[in-house]
Structure 1
Amino acid sequence: MRRIHVTAMARTPFGKFRGALAGFDAIELGSRLIDAVTARDPDREMRPEIVHGGAGLLGGAHLTTLRQSLIRSGLPDDTPSQGVDRACCSGMTAISAAAAHLRAGQGAKALAIGVESLSNTPVLLRRGSERKVNSLELIDPLLLSGSVSEKTIAHYTAEEALKYGVDRAQQDEWALASHERYFAAKRRGAFAAQIVPLSTRGAPLADDEGPREGSSPAKLAALPTVNGSATITAGNAPGLSDGAAGLVLVGSDAAEPVEGLAEIVDWVQLAGNLQTGTSIPAACILRLLDRNRLALEDVDVIEINEAFAATPLVSATVLAARLGADPASLRRRINAWGGAVAIGHPLGASGIRIVMQAIGRLHARGGGIALCAICGGFGQGEAVLLSL
Structure 2
Amino acid sequence: MKDVYIVDAIRTPIGKFGGSLMNFSAIELGALLIKKIIERNNLDPSNLNIVVMGQVIRDGTGQNTARQASIMAGVPNNVDAFNVDMVCASGMMAVINGASLIKSGDADLVIAGGMESMSRSPFIIPYQYRWGVRIDYTRDLKILDSLVYDGIQDPFNGLVMLQEADMVAAERRYTRERLEEIAYESHMRAHNATKHGYFKKEIIPITNNNKIILEIDEGIRPDTSLEKMSKLPPVFIGGIHTAATSSQISDGASTILLASEEAIGKYNLRARAKIVGYSWAALDSWRFSEAPIYAVRKLLTKTGYTVKEVDLFENNEAFAVSTALFEDLLDVSRDRLNIFGGAIALGHPLGASGARIITTLINAMEQYNYFRGVAALCHGTGGATSIMIEKAD
Q: In the alignment, is residue 190 of structure 1 matched against residue 201 of structure 2?
A: no
| Root mean square deviation of aligned Cα | 2.3
Of residues 287, 291, 294, the one that matches 1:283 is 294
- For residues 23 and 74 of structure 2, the distance between their equivalents in structure 1, rounded to whole angstroms, comes to 21
State the one-letter code of the partner of 2:176: R
Give the % identical residues: 30
Cα distance, 1:316 vs structure 2: 2.0
> Per-residue deviation at 1:42?
4.7
Report whether the alignment pairs 1:352 with 2:355: yes
Report matched runs for 1:226-375 at 5 Å.
Answer: 226-227=235-236, 230-252=239-261, 259-320=270-331, 330-375=333-378
Unaligned runs of 5+ in 2: none
1-side partners of 2:58 and 2:226: how far apart?
36
Give the secondary structure class of the aligned counterpart of 2:199.
coil
Residues 329-360 of structure 1: CA distance to partner in whole angstroms, max 9, x if unpaired?
Answer: x1332101101111111011111111011111
- Shift in Å, 1:165: 2.9
The two structures have a TM-score, normalised by structure 1, of: 0.92
* 5+ residue gaps, structure 1: 321-326
Where does residue 38 of structure 2 map in the other structure? Answer: 38
State the distance in 1 between where 2:96 and 2:382 align: 18
Partner of 1:80: 80
Instruction: Tell me how far apart the structure 2 counterparts of residues 222 and 138 of structure 1 sit (CA, whole Å).
Output: 33
Give the whole-Å Cα distance in 2 for the aligned partners of 1:369 and 1:78. Answer: 36
Q: 1:162 aligns with which of 130, 147, 170?
A: 170
After superposition, the Cα gap between the structure-2 partners of 1:276 and 1:40, relative to the gap in structure 1 and judged at 3 Å, is same
Residue type of the partner of 1:172?
E
Describe the SS at the equivalent of 2:89.
helix
Offset at residue 85 of structure 1 (A):
1.0
Deviates more, 1:283-292 or 1:162-171: 162-171
TM-score norm. by structure 2 comes to 0.91
SS of 1:338's equivalent?
coil
Q: CA deviation at 1:44?
A: 3.8
- Cα-to-partner distance string for 1:239-296 (whole Å, 9 max, x where unaligned): 2100000010001269979621111110112222102211111111111111111111
Mapped partners of 1:260, 1:59: distance in 2: 36
- Give the one of 131, 138, 143 matched to 2:143: 138
Q: Is the 2:181–2:226 Cα contact (8 Å) retained in structure 1? A: yes
Most deviating of 218-227 and 108-117: 218-227
How far apart in 2 are the matches of 1:60 and 1:298? 45
Counterpart residue identity of residue 371, structure 2 = G
Partner of 1:324: none
Structure 1 pair 112–245 and aligned structure 2 pair: CA distance change class (3 A): same
Aligned equivalents of 1:344 and 1:59: distance in 2?
Answer: 21
Asked if the contact 1:369–1:385 (Cα under 8 Å) also holds between the matched residues in 2, the reply is yes
Separation in 2, partners of 1:154, 1:231: 10
Deviation at 1:164, TM superposition (A): 2.1
**Distance in structure 1 (CA, Å) of the matches to 2:306 and 2:290:** 19
Following superposition, the deviation at residue 62 of structure 1 comes to: 3.5
Distance 1:255 1:205 in 2: 32
Secondary structure (helix, strand or coil) at the match of 1:276 reads helix
Number of residues of Structure 1 aligned to a counterpart in Structure 2: 380
Residue 365 to residue 234, structure 1, CA distance change in 2 (3 Å): same
Letter in 2 for 1:342: A
The whole-number CA distance in structure 2 between the counterparts of 1:272 and 1:182 is 31
Written as runs of structure 1 = structure 2, the 5 A alignment for 1:9-28 is 9-28=9-28
Larger proportion of helix = 2
